[in-house]
Structure 1
Amino acid sequence: MPLTPAIRVLSVDLSIVHKAYLISRPQAAIVIMNCYDHRRDHLQCSLYTVSNDVITEILARVASSSLPDLCSLRCANKLLHGLADDIYVFKHVSMERIPPIPWWPFSVDALSFLQRCLQSHNPEALYRLGMIEFFNKVQFKAGVALLERATSFSHDGATYVLGMILLCGEDEESRLHGIDVLDELEEALHRRSRCGYKISDCRKKCQRILSSMWVKCSLRQQEHACENGCKRNSGRGWDADDCNGFNCKSCKWDYELKLFRSLFTNS
């Protein structure tokens, strides 16, 4: 099989690896694996001339896109096997293929993998465990702490749930903090609008997790009367599944909280 131009260049001079993280993540994995298929000996010698930090960055980007690709690279040689176990790689590894709530009995390898993700502060792993601690084990402080940790790494789902929890706080300070958290999340989603990810998507992801566990608690919505007599604007085609169309932030997020609380009746 003839080499593609990208593979030929990489086989001759691995300095291009320094630029690999600029291309799409799956392509980075394919380029490296194809080079092993075609020029194994030459690549193995040249790979050791590349900075470990650069290779680790590539592995982390591959991990965030495809766990199977990461496993393939991990098995390629001793160097990649060692670097693939780096904390930075586990922090970014995708958990898309991992069930939201693993069922027991769990294999030793799978359990070890999840523990490594948590120890590496993988945001998705922290988010999932936070959901379990709060809604299943009823360990509220532990659950909130995990969700706050995941939120500090800009995890959309954790930020959303944390905002919902804060909205249900008994004091006004907690409620206002929740509104700020959700406003910041919405702004961040707008900045990444090309991805098409919305607040309703955060809620739907929560629903998938809640539906896979035994929910032992729900959130109690505090009564809140809008001083402005705010009502949702009608006649603009607003979807009942989103929180748009309100004149004030407080009523907007109250409506979203209502949608979120409806998940517990279906979980």
Structure 2
Amino acid sequence: MERLSTAFELPRDVWLAIAIKVATNSIADLCRFRMTCCVARDVGDEDTVLRMVAIPPPHEMNWLWIRDPVGRRFFERCIEIGHPELLFREALRELYIRRNHAIGWKMLQNAASNGVDAAKYALSMELLIRMDDSEAKKEGLKLFRTLEAGDLLPACYSSCFAVLTISWPDEVHMPKKGKEHTVCYSTRCMTRGHMGLLYDYRRRAAEGAPSTMSEAPTIFGPTNLPHDVWTLIAGRTAAQSVRDLCSLRMSCTAARNAGEEDIVYRFALIPIWDQRWWSMSPMHQAGRNFLARCRQSENLEVLFRSAVSDLFLGGSRLAGMEMMHVITAQGHSATQYTVSMMLMLRDDFESKNKGLQTFRVLEAAGALTICKLVFCGVIQGMWTHMRRLPMLNAENLVCSSHACPSHGNMGAIYRRQRYGRGWDLNDGDGGAAHILCVHCRADYELILFVHLFD
């Protein structure tokens, strides 16, 4: 008698693919599939199939499976063969409930390496909260940025929340985060130190959020925001434009008071032409007062422009150079570029060496072009006949090696770049970019710097 089905004659690889497809749907479907025939039962017990089985969310788990010996053996087998989702859940329990940090850390790394996004999120948080390990913080920040770019953070947070909240509250022991765990160390960042405040306010607002507008309490109105939050808003507004800041300050008393904080003036973005007009026009006393407050609050861009004016237009060159060094210590790249050029223009070896070191850092970071554009924007608005032009001659070149094949040729390369190919500040595709000698590249940059005053 001829058989009605030839399913038993299918290759094992096909059976395995079918079993994986069924397992990724649900555990119940896998159980029903395994009861169809002996081949399906054997294939359904493969490690590859069990590693791919779909595990329901913690709040949808049937707890009878855990209490039943057969169900318990099933989940234990899945964990043994390295099921990523179950490994992730067990890792959180080991870390924050059973407090077996070594075991939990290993399981969490295993789950993250298997592609579980929630495990990567938990791993990044564990790395970021380490105090003394800068490499761990960098690795954690890299993982965090990857998840953030993929818009995966809300789902990852929900997965961790679902695992930990399924337990009794007293069982969960989360790590404490203090000021020493801060990832942002920049003193120039205007949002640094405000994240806890924003979280507390958002949580209070969420817990007290009314169901209808008629029930809305007045405590959550914008005028009742904490002063630090208003300061943060004013700082972000000032970083966009001064006009927006003025409009914000006129909106209410809280905004006006927040707009008077030093951090707001420190990050205020002032167009270069407005700064010149306010400085020169007798009709803009308010503008001059604003600039004075910005200088007092250490607005780096305003200080940089003032220092450039002292160096190359009028005032004390010594005071201008001292101010340049102060701004350089704050990490302002255009100031670092200017200081490096001025140091390399000197005759003494020590100054040239310091300037060359700064130049190499900026060159490696690819920041030379933007630095030249910023400096050019400041210097081009000055009166030509009033400028103090830096001088470059054969005596103060950086490259002094006569064995260097490119020594003394930077002027010719510059003339070809400017008059033959057209003037371009971004000389990454031409100019001296192909020169191997870093001293010659510095000489070429000095030539560009001097001709920025043309």
TM-score by length of 1: 0.71
Give the conservation status (yes or no) of the 8 Å contact 1:133–1:143.
yes
**Structure 1 gap segments, 5+ residues each:** 1-14, 20-40, 191-197
Query: Partner amino acid for 1:18?
Result: L
Partner of residue 18, structure 1: 198
Identity %: 24
Compare 222-231 and 41-50 and name the one that shifted more: 41-50
**How far 1:110 moved relative to its partner?**
0.7
Partner of residue 204, structure 1: 373
Instruction: String of CA shifts for 1:32-70, please: whole Å, max 9, x gaps.
Output: xxxxxxxxx977863465442233223212211222222
**How far 1:209 moved relative to its partner?**
2.1
**Structure 2 gap segments, 5+ residues each:** 1-194, 200-215, 414-420, 422-426
Partner of residue 259, structure 1: 448
**How far 1:136 moved relative to its partner?**
0.8
Give the conservation status (yes or no) of the 8 Å contact 1:56–1:86.
yes
- Say whether residues 1:142 and 2:322 are aligned partners: no
Count of residues in Structure 1 that have an aligned counterpart in Structure 2: 220
2:291 to 114, 128, 131: 114
- Cα distance 1:241–1:199, how it changes in 2: closer, same or farther (>3 A)? farther
Give the conservation status (yes or no) of the 8 Å contact 1:226–1:251.
no
Partner of residue 159, structure 2: none
Give the conservation status (yes or no) of the 8 Å contact 2:227–2:254.
no
**How far 1:161 moved relative to its partner?**
0.9
Instruction: String of CA shifts for 1:184-242, please: whole Å, max 9, x gaps.
Output: 33344x4xxxxxxx4123223322322221343222231342355143899xx965876
CA distance in 2, matches of 1:176, 1:156: 18
- Cα distance 1:254–1:135, how it changes in 2: closer, same or farther (>3 A)? same
**How far 1:170 moved relative to its partner?**
1.9
**How far 1:99 moved relative to its partner?**
3.4
Q: Which runs of 4+ in 1 moved over 4 A?
A: 41-45, 237-243
- Cα distance 1:228–1:58, how it changes in 2: closer, same or farther (>3 A)? farther
Compare 50-59 and 112-121 and name the one that shifted more: 50-59
Query: Partner amino acid for 2:263?
Result: Y
CA distance in 2, matches of 1:136, 1:186: 27
Query: Partner amino acid for 1:101?
Result: R
Give the conservation status (yes or no) of the 8 Å contact 2:313–2:382.
yes
CA distance in 2, matches of 1:138, 1:230: 42
CA distance in 1, matches of 2:330, 2:387: 27
RMSD: 3.1
- Cα distance 1:99–1:227, how it changes in 2: closer, same or farther (>3 A)? farther
Greater Rg over alpha carbons, structure: 2
- Say whether residues 1:92 and 2:267 are aligned partners: yes
**How far 1:147 moved relative to its partner?**
1.6
**How far 1:94 moved relative to its partner?**
0.5
Match runs of 1:1-267 below 5 Å: 18=198, 46-47=221-222, 50-96=225-271, 98-99=273-274, 101-102=276-277, 103-137=280-314, 139-188=316-365, 190=366, 198-214=367-383, 215-221=386-392, 222-223=396-397, 224-226=399-401, 228-231=403-406, 243-264=432-453, 266=454
Give the conservation status (yes or no) of the 8 Å contact 1:60–1:93.
yes
CA distance in 1, matches of 2:360, 2:312: 24
Give the conservation status (yes or no) of the 8 Å contact 1:166–1:177.
yes
- Cα distance 1:108–1:138, how it changes in 2: closer, same or farther (>3 A)? closer
